[in-house]
Chain A
Amino acid sequence: MADRSTKQSFSRFTSALGITSNPNRPASATGAAPSSSSTASDFLAGASHLYSFGRVSDVFKSHSHLSTPRPHDGEIGGGFDGSATSKSLVKDVDSQLAALAMSPEGDRVAVAGREVLKVLTVSSNALIDTVNLRVGSRLNLNFSSNDVQWGLAASSNILATAATNGSVVIWDLAMRAPQKIDRVISEHNRAVNRIAFNQGNGSWMLSASQDGSMKLWDLRERGGARLTMLGKSEAVRDVRFNHANAVEFAAAFDNGTVQKWDIRQPRMYERKLSAHNGLALSLDWHPNGKFLVTGGRDKFIKVWDLSSDVRRPRNIITTMAPVARVAWRPGGGKNRMEIASCALVSDNRIHVWDLRRPGVANRVLDEHENVVAGLLWRDENTLWSCSKDRTFRQYDVLMAPQPVDSLSHVAFGWSPLNEFGFCIGSRPKKVSPLLHTHLRSEEDLSLKEPKGRRSGSFKMSRAGSIAGTEPGADEPLVPRQATGMMHLPGNETEAFIYLAKHYITSTTTFTIPEACEHNAQAAYRVQKYRTSQTWKMIGQAVEWEERTERARIADEANARATLEDARQMGENARQSKPRHPHLEAVRKNSGWETPESQTTARPSPVLEPEVLPDGEAATVIGTPKSVPEHNLTTSISTLSLRTPSEALKIPRPEIRSYASTNTLIPVNSQGEPQPAVSAASHPSDSTISAFSSSTDKSISGFGSSYDERSDTEPIGGQDIPPSLESQPDFPMTSNVVFPSSYRSMSTPSSFGSSQSTDHHYASSEPDDTPMEGEDKMLESQMTLKGGSGVHQHEPIRILGTKGGELRKPWAPSSLIHKVTEYYAEQADVQMCSSIALLLGERVDIPDTRLEEWQLGYIELLQRYRLFVTVAEVINATKNENVRAPGLTETQLHTGCHRCLKPLLNERTRAGYWYCERCARTLDGCTICRIPVKGQWTLCQSCGHGGHYHCMSEWFKDEGMCPSEGCGHRCLHK
């Protein structure tokens, strides 16, 4: 039952980390295939270790939540001052902030908002308020800033602010006057959203406005704009010069497009990308000048490779809120593919994303109390941000928590093919020794896989070209995890599928004993001997019950029959009645049976009636009146002997050891002096040979042989009565009968194997019977039976003394109860639910339990895609909760006759009769070519057909098939 929950957690986990496990991966665990039964328990133990490890990781999880974030090994020295202490700083500026800009030297920052414009000096441990540019200035709409930018190079003393009323204000910090306004530019009609300075020429400034235009200014000139560029795409939200190519810039627009411009061609953009659904709000160039990152209202961050012609984004990051700002992390190495972003609304955090792991943010900075309005990287590890909560902050990114730490690193699950996959965090110092040893036994795990192999399981991006990127940029992130997969023994898939297809679970065409017999054979064929035996027991128990019932009725009828008959019967009955009354009833009853039903009804574990030919049974039992008395006793004795022997649970240590050692004894152990040994060894031999021929996978082979041993062992052990040594004569019969039946069953052509049966007889018979052929064997059996009948008084009496209680142990209700208990313990829902379905109301099992089994069985069947069996189970069940989904959630699809796939037609293009895979409508009527809806009339020989009326028209005066080139004479006129 644990499988299901762990399976779910596994799939959840793998999806969370983007690890794709291939369920069809060949069972690569063959190298570690268990060769002894101890390994199997090892596997189970390993699984439970993993399970407990999963819980241990939960402890890590809560721990990492509580603990202060720790910088990564090897990254500590990366900071600019080399200290590992936090460089986080806060400054409250008493007004909402909208933007910030860094001075070219990186020591000062300008923060701007509606009512504020300040320059702060950043020292190593403090933020000092240096200049307040709004002091003394008239409160004016021109100063209500949307954006602020610091000039570069020649203009490094220049600040430019963009106002909501469309003006751009140039401030000169070098000015002596308290009012440091250099000039106010008001050429834009509507609000200016962003300004950008050119890195190459610090005097060039670009302004992007709500009116959809971008204007390029040269600050050295006092006149109007040098260039006006029209994007023709609604308002411009962001604009940035390319760091690597000073004449290029990119602009983000309200309608979601992003344009790349070259200022040498101001009439038309060079390239246009439909980047976002809704507003594109922000963009940033990668330092290499090729990649562009954009963020939009649609909650996506997209990375574009502008050096290639691909129109799709190179990477996509899905965030939780509209993206207001994006910024590439500067610096080389592994930081080069990281992006910082903040949200427009509803999220106050700054996320730092690593493109190699787009599913989860690399770092989260959660300090602000309101939405972050602006962010920029001061250097590789220091981030500056300003927010509507009126604060400016400096972060040490290395100190920020990593969300991936709070995710569970451990998961596992089972595939339908009985493979066990798991994924563990490899923390070398923390791996428990138990797990370690366990892993070592799995040599082929991807722990030792080459790196390239693992990259396949980690999908970096959904689309985009990798070609043309600089080396190293695409190096996949190697998660600190290892995944593994192994094949588990037991619960063989093939057996399950075979049984699912062959079990009879409804009594519509078969009686219960017949169905049990059938199921037993099916189980036998897949080497599930214990299951097979169980079916037989159930069949017999049910049959016995039915028969006693019939006998009771017949008894009553007979009692009322003619006096002579009654006397005759009474005479016969009296002879055995005192000792075993129920057997008497059986005998009497069998006396009235017809030979056919007799053979099937014969209470024998001998499965194939043809092994002991019908004739024999008929002669023995079929003629009631003339049967000699000792023959009757024979049939009774076989019954009485066998039935208890199956119920018998006397553990015999020495016999058990026989059974296990016998696996090593070659088949020709006939010369063995002890008949008991060969009898016990026989089933083992036969099953071993069957195993080696049936499967070549050593693992599943192990599973079956393991299973088989557990099955055969009790048979070998229990079949030998306790009186084996003391009474050499008597047990002969039981020993002979059992293995022979086994032998013949193991090979479907039972007659072909009669030779080996003979050998077996020969070996088990001491000397007195000659062995020359089948007839002889039968003879010997008969003589044995006949002969042994004489000696059988004692064992029969032993059993007969318990006769009063013997009704109980094999009464179906208690038997079935025990059987289902057992198989439920073994987690064999197939067996449990098959028994429950077949026996219906005979089973006394709580409804909830029954429902659990059946739902479990249905789920397994669905995983194996055995939908026919699912339907059978749902039809056969009495449980309403199981039936209900079958009645409501069943879908029936029409299939395409070409590709045999269902016609789903969710996006109906050309009507229902259109197969999207073949991109064609289905072939219609042979005559009119119109798709047939409703009744399809066809010739059963050639398969051509169509509309009923078309066909009937045609065949009014034709006999040939209407299909061209068919030539079949469908009607003979």
Chain B
Amino acid sequence: MDIWQGTSHNNRGRNPSGIYAIMESLQSSIMSADGQLPSVRARPRLLLMGLRRCGKSSIQKVVFHKMPPNETLFLESTSKITKDNINSFIDFQVWDFPGQIDFFDPTFDADSIFGEIGALIFIIDAQDDYLDALQKLHVTITRALAVNPNIHLEVFIHKVDGLSDDYKIDTQRDIQQRTSDELADVGLDNVTLNFHLTSIYDHSIFEAFSKVIQKLIPQLPTLENLLNILCSNSGIEKAYLFDVLSKIYIATDSSPVDMQSYEICSDFIDVVIDVSTIYGYDRPTPSLPPTSTSTTTPTDPDSAGSIIKLSNGLVLYLREINRYLALICLMRSEALDKHGLVEWNVGCFQKAIEEVFDIEKRSGVPTPGGPEEGGEGVRIELAIV
């Protein structure tokens, strides 16, 4: 289904008479830090693990299937590994493990499970006695690292909605300390573990997932720099690049994310989608035209967009980037005085994003290459608002 059923905002992109100011060539690197490209073009995996009834399936349902959090109460317990393919800007798989999985079971193929690049998300129920969970976490980490030393290890301290602020941070401190002590005991003291306090009843689970997924996106620095440039040139306070389906942000500019702006932007997506299901029309399904040739004008007149003016003088701005992604910005209302320029800049940004992902596509199965592979840059040319 096309998420963007209609356009609520239609702008004839026209070359603005603004000042062409920024000519920037960005080195877009799709390589990982050590210069090695991902070996296989397989879907990255997110492995959800944890003790039984700690909330793995609930998280998966809430984040990726838009299940209302209250209904997760009625989820059956998972009895076997559930693989869920998520088709988005990058395709990835979410594997939901049953809580009582036994690593020493001969049928448990650790190599194939941990072998792929991806993230292991271990979920701990903070409202329960977590000592058993820590034991299990310890075993899981050692197994996973033995197979794949590059795997991202994330720990969600979950169900913190029932805890007080003090207790939250104390719990995290305690868990962190115990884990690092245990890992140091077995000589794994250089492991990077990331801890997140999450709850399905607020946006914290989405933010945590955002951070996890951002680590799986090799283009993140490029995207962030593009957003930074967009922000500085268009009077934007904060910009997010959202995955529309899951409401995860895959990139944002480098200023600190405050929860308020994140929440309002992610709620904005719901509003736009709700409105477009009522007033939208069926567009010919965009067959994702080869980006480099299709658009001559920066803004695609068919792309969805929306602007909401807030009472505090800020403006919420949404623009469809492609089928899966949306740019959502908080900007000062003065910036909209030069609306055309903003549109132009966003159009340029959209083109740049397409190029970024295009490079990835074209690079395909990489030749064991030098850094010149990334020499193909993204050019972005923005007008100063």
Residues of A within 8 A of B (CB): 114, 139, 141, 144, 146, 164-166, 189-191, 193, 210-211, 232-235, 237, 254-255, 274-279, 281, 297-298, 300, 311-312, 322, 324, 344-346, 462, 907, 909
How far is it, in angstroms, between the C-alpha of A139 and the C-alpha of B24 when the chains are bound? Answer: 11
B256 on interface, CB distance cutoff 8 Å = yes
A186: min CB distance to chain B, Å: 10
How far is it, in angstroms, between the C-alpha of A191 and the C-alpha of B253 when the chains are bound? Answer: 9
Residues of A within 8 A of B253 (CB): 164
B256, A165: Cβ atoms closer than 8 Å: no
A276, B169: Cβ atoms closer than 8 Å: yes
Give the contacts of B217-255 with A (CB-CB under 8 A): 221, 224-225, 228-229, 231-232, 253-254
Find the A residue at minimum CB distance from B229: A141
Query: Contacts A141-B22, A232-B192 hold; do A311 and B197 have CB atoms under 8 A apart?
Result: no
Residues of A within 8 A of B166 (CB): 462
Query: Contacts A211-B221, A279-B256 hold; do A311 and B127 have CB atoms under 8 A apart?
Result: no
How far is it, in angstroms, between the C-alpha of A166 and the C-alpha of B169 when the chains are bound? Answer: 32
Residues of A within 8 A of B176 (CB): 274
B169 contact from A233, A274, A909, Cβ within 8 A: A274
Query: Contacts A281-B256, A311-B173 hold; do A190 and B224 have CB atoms under 8 A apart?
Result: yes
How far is it, in angstroms, between the C-alpha of A259 and the C-alpha of B201 when the chains are bound? Answer: 31
Query: Contacts A164-B232, A277-B169, A311-B173 hold; do A189 and B258 have CB atoms under 8 A apart?
Result: no
23 pairs of residues in contact across A and B, judged by CB atoms under 8 Å = A141-B232, A144-B232, A164-B228, A164-B229, A164-B232, A164-B253, A190-B221, A190-B254, A191-B225, A211-B221, A234-B194, A235-B254, A254-B256, A278-B259, A279-B257, A297-B257, A297-B259, A311-B173, A311-B177, A324-B256, A346-B260, A462-B166, A909-B128
A847: min CB distance to chain B, Å: 42
Residues of A within 8 A of B225 (CB): 164-166, 190-191
B21 on interface, CB distance cutoff 8 Å = yes
Which of A189, A254, A276, A322 has the most chain B CB atoms closer than 10 A to its own CB? Answer: A189
B165 on interface, CB distance cutoff 8 Å = yes
Residues of B within 8 A of A165 (CB): 225, 228-229
B258, A345: Cβ atoms closer than 8 Å: yes
Query: Contacts A255-B195, A322-B258, A909-B128 hold; do A298 and B165 have CB atoms under 8 A apart?
Result: yes
Residues of A within 8 A of B194 (CB): 233-234, 255
How far is it, in angstroms, between the C-alpha of A345 and the C-alpha of B258 when the chains are bound? Answer: 8
The number of A-B residue pairs with CB atoms under 8 Å apart is 89
If A297-B257, A312-B170, A344-B256 are given as contacts, then 11 extra A-B residue pairs at C-beta distance below 8 Å, sorted by A number, are A141-B229, A164-B231, A233-B194, A254-B256, A255-B211, A297-B259, A298-B165, A322-B256, A324-B256, A345-B260, A909-B128
A274, B172: Cβ atoms closer than 8 Å: yes
Residues of A within 8 A of B221 (CB): 189-190, 211
A390: min CB distance to chain B, Å: 12
A344, B258: Cβ atoms closer than 8 Å: yes
How far is it, in angstroms, between the C-alpha of A275 and the C-alpha of B260 when the chains are bound? Answer: 21
Main secondary structure of the interface of A (DSSP, over half): loop
B261 on interface, CB distance cutoff 8 Å = yes
B256, A297: Cβ atoms closer than 8 Å: yes
Find the A residue at minimum CB distance from B127: A907
A114, B261: Cβ atoms closer than 8 Å: no
**In the complex, the 8 A-B pairs of residues with the closest C-beta atoms, listed nearest first:** A191-B254, A164-B228, A232-B192, A274-B173, A210-B254, A144-B232, A189-B221, A190-B221
B172, A191: Cβ atoms closer than 8 Å: no
Which of B165, B168, B177, B384 has the most chain A CB atoms closer than 10 A to its own CB? Answer: B165
Provide the B165-199 mask, 1 if CB < 8 A to any CB of A, else 0.
11011101100110000000000000010111100
How far is it, in angstroms, between the C-alpha of A324 and the C-alpha of B173 when the chains are bound? Answer: 23
Find the B residue at minimum CB distance from A144: B232
Provide the B3-40 mask, 1 if CB < 8 A to any CB of A, else 0.
00000000000000000011010000000000000000
Residues of A within 8 A of B256 (CB): 237, 254, 279, 281, 297, 322, 324, 344
B337 on interface, CB distance cutoff 8 Å = no
Query: Contacts A255-B195, A276-B169 hold; do A345 and B24 have CB atoms under 8 A apart?
Result: no
How far is it, in angstroms, between the C-alpha of A139 and the C-alpha of B384 when the chains are bound? Answer: 10
Find the A residue at minimum CB distance from B173: A274
Query: Contacts A235-B254, A345-B258 hold; do A277 and B173 have CB atoms under 8 A apart?
Result: no
B228: min CB distance to chain A, Å: 4
B129 on interface, CB distance cutoff 8 Å = yes
A193, B254: Cβ atoms closer than 8 Å: yes
Residues of A within 8 A of B195 (CB): 255, 274
B232, A277: Cβ atoms closer than 8 Å: no
How far is it, in angstroms, between the C-alpha of A190 and the C-alpha of B229 when the chains are bound? Answer: 12
A139, B258: Cβ atoms closer than 8 Å: no
Find the A residue at minimum CB distance from B261: A345
Which of B24, B224, B259, B384 has the most chain A CB atoms closer than 10 A to its own CB? Answer: B224
Residues of A within 8 A of B169 (CB): 274-277, 298
A114, B228: Cβ atoms closer than 8 Å: no
B257, A141: Cβ atoms closer than 8 Å: no
How far is it, in angstroms, between the C-alpha of A344 and the C-alpha of B173 when the chains are bound? Answer: 25
How far is it, in angstroms, between the C-alpha of A531 and the C-alpha of B177 when the chains are bound? Answer: 66
Find the A residue at minimum CB distance from B253: A164
B211, A234: Cβ atoms closer than 8 Å: yes
How far is it, in angstroms, between the C-alpha of A190 and the C-alpha of B214 when the chains are bound? Answer: 14
Residues of A within 8 A of B129 (CB): 909
Give the contacts of B116-143 with A (CB-CB under 8 A): 127-129
A191, B165: Cβ atoms closer than 8 Å: no
Give the contacts of B300-358 with A (CB-CB under 8 A): none
B258 contact from A164, A232, A297, A462, Cβ within 8 A: A297
A277 contact from B22, B24, B128, B197, Cβ within 8 A: B197
Find the B residue at minimum CB distance from A163: B228
How far is it, in angstroms, between the C-alpha of A166 and the C-alpha of B228 when the chains are bound? Answer: 11
Residues of B within 8 A of A210 (CB): 224, 254
Residues of A within 8 A of B172 (CB): 274, 277
B168, A277: Cβ atoms closer than 8 Å: yes
How far is it, in angstroms, between the C-alpha of A191 and the C-alpha of B227 when the chains are bound? Answer: 11
How far is it, in angstroms, between the C-alpha of A701 and the C-alpha of B90 when the chains are bound? Answer: 84
How far is it, in angstroms, between the C-alpha of A324 and the C-alpha of B127 when the chains are bound? Answer: 31
How far is it, in angstroms, between the C-alpha of A836 and the C-alpha of B173 when the chains are bound? Answer: 58
Which of A279, A298, A312, A345 has the most chain B CB atoms closer than 10 A to its own CB? Answer: A345
A277, B165: Cβ atoms closer than 8 Å: yes
Find the A residue at minimum CB distance from B215: A234
A654: min CB distance to chain B, Å: 70
How far is it, in angstroms, between the C-alpha of A191 and the C-alpha of B232 when the chains are bound? Answer: 13
Provide the B365-384 mask, 1 if CB < 8 A to any CB of A, else 0.
00000000000000000001
How far is it, in angstroms, between the C-alpha of A165 and the C-alpha of B221 when the chains are bound? Answer: 10
B16: min CB distance to chain A, Å: 17
Residues of B within 8 A of A164 (CB): 225, 228-229, 231-232, 253-254
Find the B residue at minimum CB distance from A209: B254
How far is it, in angstroms, between the C-alpha of A346 and the C-alpha of B258 when the chains are bound? Answer: 11
How far is it, in angstroms, between the C-alpha of A275 and the C-alpha of B195 when the chains are bound? Answer: 12
Find the A residue at minimum CB distance from B162: A907
How far is it, in angstroms, between the C-alpha of A949 and the C-alpha of B22 when the chains are bound? Answer: 86
Residues of A within 8 A of B258 (CB): 297, 322, 344-345
Find the A residue at minimum CB distance from B313: A370
Residues of A within 8 A of B173 (CB): 274, 311-312
How far is it, in angstroms, between the C-alpha of A141 and the C-alpha of B260 when the chains are bound? Answer: 28
B257: min CB distance to chain A, Å: 7
Give the contacts of B256-311 with A (CB-CB under 8 A): 256-261
How far is it, in angstroms, between the C-alpha of A731 and the C-alpha of B14 when the chains are bound? Answer: 117
B44: min CB distance to chain A, Å: 19
B254, A141: Cβ atoms closer than 8 Å: no
How far is it, in angstroms, between the C-alpha of A59 and the C-alpha of B198 when the chains are bound? Answer: 48
A163: min CB distance to chain B, Å: 9
Find the A residue at minimum CB distance from B384: A139
A564: min CB distance to chain B, Å: 86
How far is it, in angstroms, between the C-alpha of A232 and the C-alpha of B229 when the chains are bound? Answer: 26
Residues of B within 8 A of A281 (CB): 256
Which of B221, B231, B254 has the most chain A CB atoms closer than 10 A to its own CB? Answer: B254
B259, A114: Cβ atoms closer than 8 Å: no
Residues of B within 8 A of A298 (CB): 165, 169
